[in-house]
A and B are shown apart, each in its own frame.
Chain A
Amino acid sequence: SAVISQKPSRDICQRGTSLTIQCQVDSQVTMMFWYRQQPGQSLTLIATANQGSEATYESGFVIDKFPISRPNLTFSTLTVSNMSPEDSSIYLCSVRDTRNQPQHFGDGTRLSIL
C-alpha cells in the first residue's frame, strides 16, 4: 500500500493566521482526499483534491477557507486560512487508486488554535 507522509504532524497557531499542510505519497495515486476530525468526533470529508484542476468541496466547506492544491499525482496541500479556535482538529490526507481498492491515510496533522 502507498506510504503517505503528512507535514507538519502537529502545530499550535495563533488566531487569524494560516497554515499549509503537505501530503506526499510515495507512488502515483488517482484520488486524494482531505478530511477533518474534530475532537471526539468521526471524520468529515472536506474536499477531493483533483490533479490539475480545482478541488471539489463538500457542503459546508469553501475554497476561501480551505484552499487546496494538487500539482501532480503524488502531492497535495491543504491550507487552513484565517484560523479560529473552532478549526482545532486533526486534518488527514487520504489516497485511493480505484474504488475497489482500500483507502489509505496519513498520520494526520493535529492543529491547535490559541
Chain B
Amino acid sequence: KQEVTQIPAALSVPEGENLVLNCSFTDSAIYNLQWFRQDPGKGLTSLLLIQSSQREQTSGRLNASLDKSSGRSTLYIAASQPGDSATYLCAVPTQGGSEKLVFGKGTKLTVNP
C-alpha cells in the first residue's frame, strides 16, 4: 500500500529565505508526482507535476525534484515571501498505473515578514 510522508509537518521562516520541503513515498513504481498548495479553508492548487522520466520541474521560484529509486521528492522555494504561507501537499498514484492519488499530510509553511 502506497504511503506518503512529508517532513517537516510545519516550518516557519523569515521572508527571503530559501527552503526545502520533503516528501517520501513507499512504492517507487510511480509514473509521476504532483505538488499542491492549499490555503486555509480552500481547495488545492496544482503547483508542479513531475513525470517519472524527469528529475526536475521548475515554475518561477519553485523547483521540484524527483528521485524515484529512493522514493523521494523535494520542493525548493527560493526567496520566500509572506504570500507563500500555505500548506504544501505532495501526492503520488495509489499503485502502479492508477489515476487515483494518495496524499501526504502536508507541510504547513509560515513566512514571516
Interface size of B as a range: 20 to 34
Contact indicator B46/A104 (Cβ below 8 Å): yes
B51: chain A residues within 8 A (beta carbon): 100
Interface of A is mostly: strand
- Give CA–CA (A39, B45) in the complex, Å: 19
- Give CA–CA (A108, B38) in the complex, Å: 11
Contact indicator A102/B44 (Cβ below 8 Å): no
A96: chain B residues within 8 A (beta carbon): 99
A53: chain B residues within 8 A (beta carbon): none
Interface size of A as a range: 20 to 34
Q: Which of B45, B89, B99 sits near A99, CB closer than 8 Å?
A: B99
Taking beta carbons and an 8 Å cutoff, which residues of A are in contact with B? 1, 4, 6, 31, 33, 41-43, 45, 48, 90, 92, 94, 96, 99-108, 110
Taking beta carbons and an 8 Å cutoff, which residues of B are in contact with A? 31-32, 34, 36, 41-46, 49, 51, 89, 91, 93-94, 97-106
